[in-house]
Amino acid sequence: MRGRLLALQAFWSYDRMQSLGLLFALDPCLKGANPDPARYREALLRHMGFFNTNPIMAGYAAGALAGLEEELARRSGPGRAELEDKVERTRRSLGSALAAIGDTFFWGTLRPAAAAVAGLAGLLAWRAAGAGWAAAAAACAYLAAFNAPAVGTRARAVSVGRAAGDRLVEELAAMRWHERTRWTARAGLLACAAACAVAIASAPWPSRGPAWEAGTLAACAALRAFVSAPAAYAALAAAGCAVAAVS
């Protein structure tokens, strides 16, 4: 299931989002738990509805749903319809809960933190070993900084989800994702500050001196407070053209 979850978004569509990807991941489990073809068909159709979450956190939902499906396959009689409802409710509620955590941590915090670490690694490699090593150091540092927590989460998610079942939301709350997010952001800020200090002190590109570089950073930070990054770049280009035309 872990391997198949890597293709969670391969079937992404506007109307069902990741539902087909989740079904692809759950399929071996559904097939194993339901030797009766009619039950297996029912199980397949049960997961055709909307599903969307953060792809790195999806293992928690897949594990919990696999556990519930196995329980459902063993159940017959009056409790079965209730359990079917529970599967549907769990799928819907876990999708949004996991997305809220994963999008904030992995996309909103870990990606910029990894970028800061990559910038610092690239600058240090440039100073220590020359320009040739800077590119490789930055790329490797980015991949390592992002994937260390992401691979760890993916490795544990399915088994944690399966063990927790419908108590998964409580389990996730106990993992203190809010604290992890805050400390990751602080570490990223530290790396960003160190990278800026290294670049201001000895910029590896043609520079007009530390004061000029620090002033440019301050101007960019002020500009960035009001507009998005691409818009800020366009504004810098327009300002540069205006200054060049005047001077």
Partner 1 sequence: MSWHAASLPALSALTALVDLDATHLVHSMASRPIVLGPLLGAVCGDPLSGAAFGAAAEALSLDRSPTGAALPLNGGVAAACAVLLHVSPAAVPAAAALPAGLALGVGHRAVEGLVRSRRSALAEDARRQAEGGSVSWGRLLARGLGTHLAASAAFVYISVAVLAPALAWAWGAAPEAVREGLGRALAAAPWLGAASVARLLWRRAR
For the segment 16-75, give every residue that binds partner 1 (CB under 8 A): 16-17, 19-20, 23-24, 27, 37, 40-41, 44-45, 48, 52, 54-56
Q: Are 65 and 93 in contact (CB under 8 A)?
A: no
Q: How far is the CB of 175 from partner 1 (least distance, A)?
A: 17
If one counts every other C-beta atom within 10 angstroms of the C-beta of residue 44, the result is 15
Strand, helix or coil at 118? helix
Q: For partner 1, give the closer residue by CB, 82 or 243.
A: 243
Binding mask 114-153 for partner 1 (x = CB under 8 A): xxx-xx--x--------xx-xxx-xx--xx--xx--x---
Residue type at 193?
A
Q: Are 177 and 101 in contact (CB under 8 A)?
A: yes
CA 196 – CA 215 distance, rounded (Å): 12
Number of residues that bind partner 1 (CB under 8 A): 91
The helix-helix angle for 19-33 and 58-74 (nearest 10°) equals: 40
Token pair 């029912």 is found at 42
Rg (CA), the chain: 24
Binding residues among 156-185 for partner 1 as defined by CB under 8 A: 181-182, 184-185
Binding residues among 189-208 for partner 1 as defined by CB under 8 A: 189, 192-193, 195-196, 199, 205
**213 binding partner 1? (CB under 8 A):** yes
Q: How far is the CB of 238 from partner 1 (least distance, A)?
A: 7
Q: For partner 1, give the closer residue by CB, 60 or 146.
A: 146
Q: For partner 1, give the closer residue by CB, 167 or 186.
A: 186
